[in-house]
Amino acid sequence: MNLLRKWMGVVWMLLAPLSIFYLIKTAASEIAQHPVIDTKIQWGVFVAVAIPIAVGMLIFGWYAWKDEYRR
């Protein structure tokens, strides 16, 4: 179980920047299709909320990789 937890930490660390990349890519695409202020505010809020969540995923993955959850 500890080995699985350790490798899932790697998955979380890889998933965090990948999810932010695709979120920003999608936001830019949606804003380009509908360049009104409502769309810009909506996607700005989505990105602003998702970045701290992704940072938390990265930190969680780092702790899992370093066996901080071993107890």
Assess if residue 54 is contained within a domain.
Answer: yes
Domain that holds residue 22: 2-65
Number of domains in the chain: 1
Residue 29 lies in a domain: yes
Per-residue model confidence as pLDDT tens digits over 26-60: 999 999 999 999 999 999 999 999 999 999 999 99
d(CA 29, CA 36): 13
Whether 71 is covered by a domain: the verdict is no
Element (H, E) at 47: helix 37-65
Q: Give the amino acid at 38.
A: D
In a domain, 61, yes or no: yes
Residue 6: inside a domain: yes
* Number of residues that make up the chain: 71
Tokens 């509908």 locate to: 34
The answer to whether residue 70 sits within a structural domain is: no
Model-level pTM?
A: 0.80
